[in-house]
Structure 1
Amino acid sequence: MKAHTWLASTIVSAAMFAAGAAYADDPVEIRFAHWVPPTHPLQQAITEWGASLNEATGGTISVTIFPAQQLGAAKDTYDMVRDGIADMGYINPGYTPGRFPVFDAANLPFNITNATDGSAAIDEWYGNYAEKEMGDIYVCLANAHDPGTFHSKEKIVVPGDVNGLKVRPANGTISKMVTLLGGQPVQVSAPESREALERGVADAITFPWGSILLFGIDKTVKYHLDMPTYVVGFVWGMNKDFYNNLSDAQKKAVDDHCNPEWAKQTSIGWATYESGGRDKIKAMSDHTVTTPTDDQVAEWRKAVAPMEDEWKKAVNDAGYDADAVWNDLQDTLKKYNSKY
Structure 2
Amino acid sequence: MKRAISQSLLLASVATVSFSAHAETLRMSHFWPSASAVHQEIFEAWASSVEEASNGELEVQIFPSGTLSKPDHAYQGVVDGISDIAASLQGYTSGRFPLSEIVQLPGVSSSAPQGSCILQKMYDDELIASEYEDVKVLFLFTTGPAYLHTRNADIQSPADLSGLRIRRPSDVAGEMLSSLGADPLGMPAPDIYTSLQRGVMDGLSFPWEAMRVFGINELVNYHLEVPYYSGAVMAVMNRGAYEGLSDEMREVIDRHSGMEWSQIAGGVYHRLDAVGREEALEQGDTIHTVENPLNDPEWSGPLEEGTERYLARLEERGLNNARDIYEHALSLREECAE
Q: Same fold (TM over 0.5)?
A: yes
Which structure 2 residues correspond to residues 96-111 of structure 1 after superposition, within 5 A? 96-111=93-108
Alignment-derived partner of residue 27 in structure 2: 31
Matching residue's letter, 2:117: A
Structure 2 residue 37 is the aligned partner of structure 1 residue 41: yes
Query: How far has the Cα of 1:320 moved from its partner?
Result: 4.5
Which structure 2 residues correspond to residues 188-203 of structure 1 after superposition, within 5 A? 188-203=187-202
| SS of match in other structure, 2:287 | strand
Report percent identity of matched pairs: 27
Structure 2 residue 299 is the aligned partner of structure 1 residue 300: yes
CA–CA separation in structure 1 for the residues paired with 2:182 and 2:37: 31
Superposition RMSD in Å: 2.2
CA–CA separation in structure 2 for the residues paired with 1:193 and 1:225: 18
CA–CA separation in structure 2 for the residues paired with 1:264 and 1:98: 26
CA–CA separation in structure 2 for the residues paired with 1:231 and 1:292: 15
Alignment-derived partner of residue 311 in structure 2: 312
| SS of match in other structure, 1:146 | strand
CA–CA separation in structure 2 for the residues paired with 1:213 and 1:204: 15
Matching residue's letter, 1:328: H
Do 2:33 and 2:64's aligned partners in 1 also have CA atoms closer than 8 Å? yes
CA–CA separation in structure 1 for the residues paired with 2:207 and 2:252: 32
Which structure 2 residues correspond to residues 105-144 of structure 1 after superposition, within 5 A? 105-127=102-124, 128-144=126-142
Do 1:149 and 1:207's aligned partners in 2 also have CA atoms closer than 8 Å? yes
291-300 or 56-65: bigger deviation = 291-300
Query: How far has the Cα of 1:184 moved from its partner?
Result: 1.1
CA–CA separation in structure 2 for the residues paired with 1:144 and 1:303: 23
Alignment-derived partner of residue 337 in structure 1: 337
| SS of match in other structure, 2:299 | helix
Alignment-derived partner of residue 64 in structure 2: 67
CA–CA separation in structure 2 for the residues paired with 1:54 and 1:301: 48
Alignment-derived partner of residue 9 in structure 1: none
| SS of match in other structure, 1:142 | strand
Query: How far has the Cα of 1:97 moved from its partner?
Result: 2.4
CA–CA separation in structure 2 for the residues paired with 1:124 and 1:47: 24
Distance 1:305 1:327, change over 3 A: same
CA–CA separation in structure 2 for the residues paired with 1:228 and 1:319: 26
Query: How far has the Cα of 1:59 moved from its partner?
Result: 1.7
Tell me how many residue pairs correspond in the alignment: 315
CA–CA separation in structure 2 for the residues paired with 1:186 and 1:249: 46
Alignment-derived partner of residue 3 in structure 2: none
Query: How far has the Cα of 1:293 moved from its partner?
Result: 6.5
Alignment-derived partner of residue 255 in structure 1: 254
Query: How far has the Cα of 1:136 moved from its partner?
Result: 1.1
Distance 1:318 1:51, change over 3 A: farther
CA–CA separation in structure 1 for the residues paired with 2:311 and 2:72: 24
107-116 or 79-88: bigger deviation = 107-116
Give deviations 1:193-249, integer Å, cap 9, x for gaps: 011111111001011113223322223210011333321011101011111111111
CA–CA separation in structure 1 for the residues paired with 2:292 and 2:264: 32
CA–CA separation in structure 1 for the residues paired with 2:311 and 2:64: 35
| SS of match in other structure, 1:186 | strand
Stretches of structure 1 that go unaligned for 5 or more consecutive residues are 1-19
Alignment-derived partner of residue 213 in structure 2: 214
CA–CA separation in structure 2 for the residues paired with 1:43 and 1:294: 32
Give deviations 1:2-51, integer Å, cap 9, x for gaps: xxxxxxxxxxxxxxxxxx9xx99x73111110011111222111111112
| SS of match in other structure, 2:334 | helix
Give deviations 1:39-95, integer Å, cap 9, x for gaps: 122211111111212222222111111000101211111100100101010121111
Given candidates 75, 78, 81, the residue that maps to 1:78 is 75
CA–CA separation in structure 2 for the residues paired with 1:294 and 1:234: 24
CA–CA separation in structure 2 for the residues paired with 1:221 and 1:192: 15
Do 1:110 and 1:301's aligned partners in 2 also have CA atoms closer than 8 Å? no
CA–CA separation in structure 2 for the residues paired with 1:320 and 1:52: 40
Alignment-derived partner of residue 7 in structure 1: none
CA–CA separation in structure 2 for the residues paired with 1:207 and 1:169: 9
Stretches of structure 2 that go unaligned for 5 or more consecutive residues are 1-15
Do 2:209 and 2:272's aligned partners in 1 also have CA atoms closer than 8 Å? yes
Distance 1:215 1:293, change over 3 A: closer
Query: How far has the Cα of 1:323 moved from its partner?
Result: 2.7
Do 1:143 and 1:233's aligned partners in 2 also have CA atoms closer than 8 Å? yes
Matching residue's letter, 2:96: R
